[in-house]
A = this chain, B = another copy of it.
Amino acid sequence: LPEGQRIDKASRDSATMRDVAALAGVSFKTVSRVLNLEPSVRPMTEAAVTRAVAALGYRRNSAARSLRSGAHMASIGLVIADLANPLYGIMAKAVESVADREGSVVIIASTSERPQRERAIALNMLNRPVDGLILAPAGQDHRYLQLPRRLGTPVVFLDRPGGGVEADSVVLDNAGGSQEAVEHLIAQGHRRIGYIGDGRTLPSLRNRLDGYRLALAAAEIPYDPALVVLSSSRVELAEAAAAGILRASDPPTAIFADTNRTCIGVLHAVRASGRRIAIAAFDEFELADMLSVPITLVSFDAGELGRTAAELLFARLGGDNSAAREIVLPTRLIVYPGYEPQRVAVATA
């Protein structure tokens, strides 16, 4: 497992306990005593040592420390696609909370949805090493994890399944969730329903598209490619995509967005169009209930997702050797009717 980034020792000043001891005029064991706050050190000696430590800018070497003591700091790695996405923030918080309970710290990194960066970061973490890894993958090929897995490091995929390696995963019922949402739109009378999302790369998003198609098929509504724009999940691209199908000759009366990112783009496009378009989307977000337009969301408990993944990882670390599991968490449809504030006169002072 190479690829870890390291700081060359020479680049930092590294005085050792022996250097400090020499400057303070004591043995290096005495320095050790001072730094470990052991009681049996004369105040004068301690002062001399403290001064020498400061003078040399000495920092204890943790590797040597834990080498002899045989203890090591427990840590798990969390590699996620985008920390700035509130959903991942909630998941990260849940993971961190479980890890803390288990006496572990979380090393976290954001891949910006780039598979190559994901690979580099994951290998970097394993090289530190971390005790286990939770990965919300951007890529689909995780064969690079086969070796670490064989060497005993547990891996849990979060929110999105992994590929090419046997490992646990905790995911959502993506197809079921979007199918339910689209069925809801159909039940409201919509028959031309647009789809904005990224149904090409990530399996989880492909499944959401599958759900859309299933719902249409069940209602015997033909799949119209002109209503489906598979762009990336970036807000601006989704907005442009939605604007495009709204401008078309036979526009949709409803649009389904496959993530909270695409949903925001769709909301903006719909507003810009000046039309009333029904909107449904995967992912819940705060203030959905305060929007002026009605919206239907496929909601789920992001904290539960993170918590489940973390608990699974610690179970593995605790010795659970059973076969790799896939845990699928349910989604729940929430219908927000849209909030129209009353036009009451203000009681001005």
A interface residues (Cβ-Cβ under 8 A, vs B): 2, 4-9, 37, 50, 53-54, 57-67, 70-75, 82-86, 88-90, 92-93, 96-97, 100, 103-110, 112, 121, 124-125, 127-129, 150-153, 189-192, 251, 253, 264, 267-268, 271, 274-278, 285-287, 290-293, 303, 338-349
Contact = CB atoms under 8 A, between A and B. Distances in A.
Contacts of A83: 89-90, 92-93, 96
Report the copy number of this chain in the oligomer.
Answer: 2
A interface majority secondary structure: loop
Pick the 10 closest A-B CB pairs, nearest first: A292-B292, A89-B89, A9-B70, A6-B71, A83-B93, A5-B103, A191-B349, A108-B108, A63-B67, A63-B63
Contacts of A276: 341-346
Contacts of A61: 67, 72
Given A6-B103, A62-B72, 4 more contacts: A9-B71, A61-B72, A63-B65, A264-B287
Contacts of A347: 251, 253
A7 B72 contact: yes
B63 A92 contact: no
A88 B85 CA distance: 11
Nearest to A10: B70
26 contacts: A2-B37, A5-B104, A6-B66, A50-B150, A53-B150, A53-B151, A54-B151, A54-B152, A57-B152, A63-B72, A67-B67, A83-B92, A84-B303, A86-B86, A96-B108, A97-B112, A100-B109, A105-B124, A253-B347, A271-B341, A274-B344, A275-B346, A277-B346, A290-B292, A292-B339, A338-B341
Contacts of A293: 290, 341
A286 B278 CA distance: 20
A119 to B, nearest CB: 14
A226 to B, nearest CB: 13
B86 A84 contact: yes
- Which of A63, A96, A103 has most chain B Cβ within 10 Å? A63
Given A105-B125, A290-B291, A292-B341, A58 B274 contact: no
Nearest to A292: B292
- Which of A64, A71, A92, A251 has most chain B Cβ within 10 Å? A71
Contacts of A96: 83, 108-110
Given A7-B74, A72-B6, A341-B292, A109 B105 contact: yes
A171 to B, nearest CB: 20
A84 B64 CA distance: 36
B129 A59 contact: yes
B348 A5 contact: no
Contacts of A129: 59-60, 62
A48 to B, nearest CB: 15
B105 A71 contact: no
Contacts of A108: 92, 96, 106-108
Contacts of A287: 264, 267, 285, 287, 291
Given A86-B84, A129-B59, A107 B5 contact: no
Contacts of A339: 271, 292
A271 B285 contact: no
Nearest to A85: B89
